[in-house]
Structure 1
């Protein structure tokens, strides 16, 4: 399942992000998104059924998918898009979340997202500006010849 979030009211930050080189801007967005999804990552692990420990030990937050997940996920053609993934990568998560023929559903991912989605947005709003500033300062220092 893909969840899209539309954020309004961040026009100044968008302009500042647009002044960075595209690779730097994508790095800023990736770092902020990974940080914003940490509360969700913690929440789904706490809510996961604790049978063998494999489920809550799988997955995490990152920009890479497993080979199986990548085959199922269609990549967007938009080169300006940043994708960050969070949640379990154990195939057993699907029947646990939605149920199966002989077992009832034990949702843990969706409730975790519902609990933390507003916190994730607040983290983006709080962290994006300072991350843009740090990246722009670092780029300016490098352009001036001082590596750090």
Structure 2
């Protein structure tokens, strides 16, 4: 499996800001951001998918779940991972790359190539906003808790 590497500046500061949040909150902030920003790739992949029978178009998702087979083939590299593409049916792979009986009809790769930089920059921008919102929620929660403790005395 070929890997691509991208360099985005400014993520170190965001990572530091995430580390200041409680672990569960940081995880939820990352999940929310990645799912939101992965949507353009999902939408283009679905739009590019051929209209054959079998529901390939309808199976496109942005999510955290993989099939048992996909899990066995995937090496987890991060605490938070989001997957974009068609469901686990073999039809998606066969259509994307082709086989001895059918020509390739790429749908996910062109969607990825067309949107990758937009998505990566969107993650950086959106993550900063999501971190600020999480901080504000935590501050409001702390205020409510302090008021509740003060009222109890």
Same structural fold, with TM-score higher than 0.5 when normalized by the shorter chain: yes
Distance in 2 separating the partners of 1:4 and 1:131: 24
Q: Count how many residue pairs are aligned between Structure 1 and Structure 2.
A: 143
Report 1:61-72 matches (<5 A). 61-72=62-73
Cα RMSD between the aligned structures?
Answer: 1.9
Residue aligned with 1:71, SS: helix
Q: Which runs of 5+ in 2 are unaligned?
A: 146-153
Partner of 2:131 in structure 1? 132
Q: TM-score, length-normalised on structure 1?
A: 0.86
Partner of 1:88: 86
Report matched runs for 1:43-82 at 5 Å: 43-52=44-53, 54-76=55-77, 81-82=79-80
Q: Is this contact kept in 2: 1:62–1:86, CA < 8 A? A: yes
Aligned position for 2:117: 118
- Structure 1 pair 3–58 and aligned structure 2 pair: CA distance change class (3 A): farther
Compare the two structures and name the one with the higher helix fraction: 2
- Give the SS at the match of 2:8: coil
TM-score by length of 2: 0.84
Partners of 1:72 and 1:53 lie apart in 2 by 24
Deviation larger for 50-59 or 67-76: 67-76
Matched residues in 2 for 1:66 and 1:27: separation? Answer: 22
1:40 alignment partner in structure 2: 41
